[in-house]
Amino acid sequence: MPKSFEPGALLGHVYTLGGGLLVRLRLARSSDAPAIKRLLEEQGRGGSDFEIARLVHFDPRRRYVVCATGLVDSTEVLLGVGAIGLDGVIEPDLLIVDGQCPEQVAELLRTALVACAARAA
């Protein structure tokens, strides 16, 4: 885990976490909707179509929605998703990580979201 996080490097950067897990952070996109819905349902939070649409179609001037992905059996898999408003809030309003993932994925997502929000403020 990097000691400092450069929010400008958010897209396309790969982070190596403990155990050798490679995680890439990127902004959410519409093709993530089914995976985000599955993740929300697995965590018992449900996910209405409206809520999912709000996560994958956002105004990056007002809100960031970031996905953490990793390669599992040669397939890119959504490991977690987080969202934060860029209105001076310093904590993510959504942070969900697959229960099978190490705690470091949640920490990486949170760090990235907070750094992006701080930079936008």
Please state, in angstroms and rounded to a whole number, the distance separating the CA atoms of residues 110 and 103: 11
pTM: 0.86
At residue 65, the 3 state secondary structure works out as strand
Helix axes 49-56, 33-42, angle to 10 degrees: 130
Q: What is the pLDDT along the chain (121 residues), one digit of tens a residue?
A: 455 555 555 666 889 988 888 999 999 999 999 999 999 998 888 778 899 999 999 999 999 999 999 987 888 899 999 999 998 878 999 999 998 888 899 999 999 999 888 887 7
56, 36 in Cβ contact below 8 A? yes
Given the candidates 3.40.50.20, 1.10.1760.20, 3.40.50.880, 3.40.630.30, the CATH classification of the domain at 7-120 is 3.40.630.30
The two three-digit tokens of residue 120, written as one number: 């936008």
Q: What is the DSSP letter of 87?
A: S
Helix, strand, coil percentages in the chain from 3-state DSSP, rounded to 5: 35, 30, 35
